[in-house]
């Protein structure tokens, strides 16, 4: 199947009442792990690359590797998404390279740390939506700011300082016309999200539900959605690692989100943990080995296991063949004639 529009994937997920995992990649093995998991579970999937990933791998490599994935797995609907674009130019360059979807994270300034004003976020996101929709490309925006700074995207603190305001979420969605909306409900990126199993005082699922009630047709996105399972932490520590005990977002809370409008679920850290644990184990148990394939194969398998598990838990498993790809040209026409527009006429 050719690369598909993320908008199509999310519209289908809304029809089917399930969530779609958006998994971060930096290299070939991670892409292979995701695609094998998608094949195993027959899942549509979103592969996303951050600015850091684009810089690390050189983004033409990533583009062609993801393109190869779409050719090798023709039965899997696959969208290629830019994660946390920090400016109009970053989004533009991803679109020009061939990404079928971009995130304009205007909740933060270009430094990825300083919270932006509502007006500045609105302005830059609207400009990206105009540019992207003219080309049939999907846009995710963000309102409210995630905490933490572990992955270089976040305002620091606990994540409770800049929760999404539902009134602003409504105004932002209507005025920008984004296809998907990331909200801040207390999560943050990386492994150190919560110092104990989170309850409603730190993970604001009630806020998510309130936003969904106000914006029932908007596809919501949960960032910082790794569950940071103890067994993955334990493998790393068993083989010489030094992780402090930590808690992520419990899968049942993500599933509650999915029942309340969450269609895209961002996961990176769990895969990083799985890969690192598998590599540590090989190097610890067989220190004489030096062929990278000896540790990259188990690393890839460990990531595939995590991704397949999440695909089943998010409900996307079994939905790969529900629909055929709509071409980007058709999606472009849909934005043009207004059938796909999410911006009410008055706000144009
Ligand atoms: O948003 C954070 C993702 O985990 C990507 O992180 O910027 O370190 O690639 P990164
Ligand atoms: P985690 O760090 O929880 O995996 O979140 C990833 C993410 O939100 C990418 O945008
Ligand atoms: Zn994120």
Rounded Cα–Cα distance for residues 315 and 321 (Å): 14
Pocket test for ligand 2, best of 49, 190, 254, 275 (most atoms within 8 A of CB): 190
Rounded Cα–Cα distance for residues 130 and 137 (Å): 10
Residues linked to residue 221 through DSSP beta bridges, in sequence order: 182, 264
Q: Tell me, using a 6 A CB cutoff, whether residue 84 lines ligand 1.
A: yes
pLDDT tens readout for residues 117-164:
999 999 999 999 999 999 999 999 999 998 776 767 777 777 787 899
Mean pLDDT of the 73-99 span: 98
The reported pLDDT for the residue numbered 49 is: 98
User: Is 262 strand, coil or helix?
Assistant: strand
Instruction: Please report the atom of ligand 1 found closest to the CA of residue 50.
Output: 9
List the catalytic residue out of 59, 83, 151, 179: 83
Rounded Cα–Cα distance for residues 45 and 319 (Å): 10
Please give the model's pTM, rounded to 2 decimal places.
0.97
- Ligand 3 centroid to residue 145 C-alpha, Å: 10
pLDDT tens readout for residues 204-219:
999 999 999 999 999 9
- Tell me if 168 sits within 8 A of 143, measured CB to CB: yes
**CA triple 269-138-1, angle to 5 deg:** 80
First-residue to last-residue Cα distance in the chain: 34
Rounded Cα–Cα distance for residues 80 and 216 (Å): 25
Instruction: Please report the atom of ligand 1 found closest to the CA of residue 152.
Output: 7
Q: Tell me, using a 6 A CB cutoff, whether residue 52 lines ligand 1.
A: yes
pLDDT tens readout for residues 101-121:
999 999 999 998 899 999 999
- Ligand 1 centroid to residue 151 C-alpha, Å: 5
Q: What is the CB-side half-sphere exposure of residue 48 using CA atoms within 13 A? A: 27
Among left, alpha and beta (phi > 0; psi -120 to 50; other), residue 30 is alpha
């Amino acid at each position: 199947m050719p690369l598909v529009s993320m908008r199509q994937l999310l519209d289908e997920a809304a029809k089917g009442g399930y969530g779609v995992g958006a998994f971060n990649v930096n290299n070939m093995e991670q892409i292979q792990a995701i695609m094998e998991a998608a094949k195993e579970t027959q899942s549509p999937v979103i592969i996303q690359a951050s600015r850091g990933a684009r810089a690390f791998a050189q983004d033409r490599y990533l583009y062609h590797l993801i393109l190869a994935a779409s050719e090798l797995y023709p039965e899997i609907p696959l969208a290629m998404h830019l994660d946390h674009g920090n400016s109009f130019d970053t989004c533009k360059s991803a679109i020009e390279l061939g990404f079928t979807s971009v995130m304009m994270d205007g909740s933060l300034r270009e430094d990825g740390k300083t919270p932006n004003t509502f007006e500045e976020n609105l302005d830059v996101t609207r400009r990206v939506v105009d540019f992207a929709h003219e080309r049939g490309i999907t846009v995710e925006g963000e309102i409210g700011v995630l905490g933490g700074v572990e992955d270089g995207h976040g305002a620091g603190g606990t994540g409770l300082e800049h929760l999404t305001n539902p009134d602003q979420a409504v105004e932002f969605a209507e005025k920008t016309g984004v296809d998907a909306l990331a909200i801040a409900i207390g999560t943050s990126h990386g492994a150190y999200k919560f110092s104990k199993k989170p309850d409603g005082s730190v993970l604001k699922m009630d806020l998510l539900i309130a936003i969904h009630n106000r914006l029932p047709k908007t596809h919501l996105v949960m960032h910082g959605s790794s569950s940071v399972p103890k067994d993955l932490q334990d493998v790393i520590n068993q083989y010489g690692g030094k992780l402090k005990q930590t808690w992520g977002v419990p899968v049942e809370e993500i599933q509650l989100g999915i029942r309340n409008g969450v269609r895209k679920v961002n996961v990176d850290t769990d895969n990083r943990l799985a890969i690192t644990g598998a590599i540590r184990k090989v190097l610890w148990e067989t220190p004489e080995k030096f062929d990278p394939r000896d540790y990259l194969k188990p690393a890839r398998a460990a990531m595939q296991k995590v991704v397949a598990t999440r695909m089943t838990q998010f409900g996307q498993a079994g939905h790969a063949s529900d629909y055929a790809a709509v071409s980007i040209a058709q999606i472009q026409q849909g934005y043009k004639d207004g059938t796909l527009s999410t911006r009410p006429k008055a706000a144009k």
